[in-house]
Structure 1
Amino acid sequence: HCQTIGWDAVPLEALLRASSQLPPTVPYFIDNGAKTLGQAEMWFGAGRGARSAAIVLFGTGVGACLFADGRGRALEWGHLTVQAGGRTCRCGAPGCLEAYAGAESVLERWREAGGQPPRHVDEETQLTALLAAACPTDGSDPDPVAYEVMAKTAEYLGAGLSDLINLFQPERILIGGWAGLQFGSRFLDDVRKHTTKYALSYPAGKATIALGKLGPDAVTVGAATLPLEDFFARGGRRDTPAQEPTPPAWRTALEGRVLG
Structure 2
Amino acid sequence: MHMGMTIEEYAMEQVYEDLHHKAVLHQATLDQCIYVFVEGESEEVAFPILLERAGVKLKKDGIFISSYNGINNLPHVLRLMGQTLSYDRPIIITYDNDLDGQRISRKISQYTVNSNHIALLTIPSHNIVTYKNGHQGGSFEEAFDPVHFINVCFTKAFMPQHIAVQKQQFLIDFDVNKPWLSQVCEFCKINGYMDFGSCKVKLAEKLALSCPTLPSSFTDLASLIVKTRKDNPIKHPDDVDLPRISGITCK
- Give the TM-score taking structure 2 as reference length: 0.30
Whose relative contact order is higher, 1 or 2, with alpha carbons under 8 Å and at least 6 apart?
2
- Give the TM-score taking structure 1 as reference length: 0.29
